[in-house]
Amino acid sequence: MTGAAAGALSGTWQHEAVRIEAGPTRLRLLGLGGSVLLSAAAVGAGVLPRPDPLRDAAVLSALRGGPGHIACIAVAAAGMALLVAAWLLLGRGLDRLTARWMCTTAALWALPMVFVPPILSRDVYGYAVAGQMLQAGLDPYSHGAADLASSWVTSTSTSWLNVPFAYGPLFLLLARLIVAGSGDSLVVAVFGMRALAIAGTVLLAWALPRAARACGVDERRALWLGLVNPLVLAHFVGGAHADALMVGLMVAGLAVAAGRWPAAGAVLCTLAVAVKATAAVALPFVALLWVLRLPHRRRPLAHAIAATVLVAGATFAAVTAVSGVGYGWVGTVNTVGLSRQWTSLSTGLGLVLGGSPGALAVTRGIAFAAMAVIAVAVWVRAARRGGIRPAVEGCGWVLLAVVALGPAVHPWYVTWPVAALAAAGISGRPRTAVAAASVGFCLLVLPDGYNLARATEPVGLVIDVLVLAGLVALGVRRLRRRRPAEQVAA
Contact 255, 272 (CB under 8 A): no
pLDDT given for residue 69 in this prediction = 78
3-state secondary structure 181-246: CCCCCHHHHHHHHHHHHHHHHHHHHHHHHHHHHHHCCCHHHHHHHHCCCHHHHHHHHHCCCCHHHH
pLDDT given for residue 475 in this prediction = 74
Q: Report in angstroms the alpha-carbon separations of 351 from 45, 407, 459.
A: 31, 12, 12
Q: Give the chain's residues under pLDDT 50.
A: 1-22, 485-486, 488-490
Q: Is the pTM of this model over 0.85?
A: yes
Using CA atoms, how far apart are residues 458 and 447, in angstroms rounded to an integer?
23
pLDDT given for residue 111 in this prediction = 96
pLDDT given for residue 462 in this prediction = 87
Using CA atoms, how far apart are residues 406 and 344, in angstroms rounded to an integer?
6
Query: Which residues partner with 445 through β-bridges?
Result: 451
The dihedral over CA atoms of 65, 69, 71, 74, expressed in degrees to the nearest 10, equals: -160
pLDDT given for residue 211 in this prediction = 96
Using CA atoms, how far apart are residues 371 and 407, in angstroms rounded to an integer?
11
* Close Cβ partners of 349 (under 8 Å, ≥ 6 residues apart): 363, 464, 465, 468
Does residue 458 have a cis bond before it (omega within 30 degrees)? no
Query: Which residues partner with 114 through β-bridges?
Result: none
Single-letter amino acid code for the residue at 265: G
How many CB atoms neighbour CB 183 within 10 A?
8
User: What are the sequence ranges of the domains in the chain?
Assistant: 14-455
What does residue 451 show for φ and ψ, rounded to 5 degrees?
Answer: -90, 120
Strand, helix or coil for residue 64 = coil
pLDDT given for residue 294 in this prediction = 80
Nearest by Cα to 32 from 66, 77, 79: 79
pLDDT given for residue 148 in this prediction = 85
* Close Cβ partners of 228 (under 8 Å, ≥ 6 residues apart): 87, 90, 102, 105, 106, 109
Query: Which residues partner with 451 through β-bridges?
Result: 445
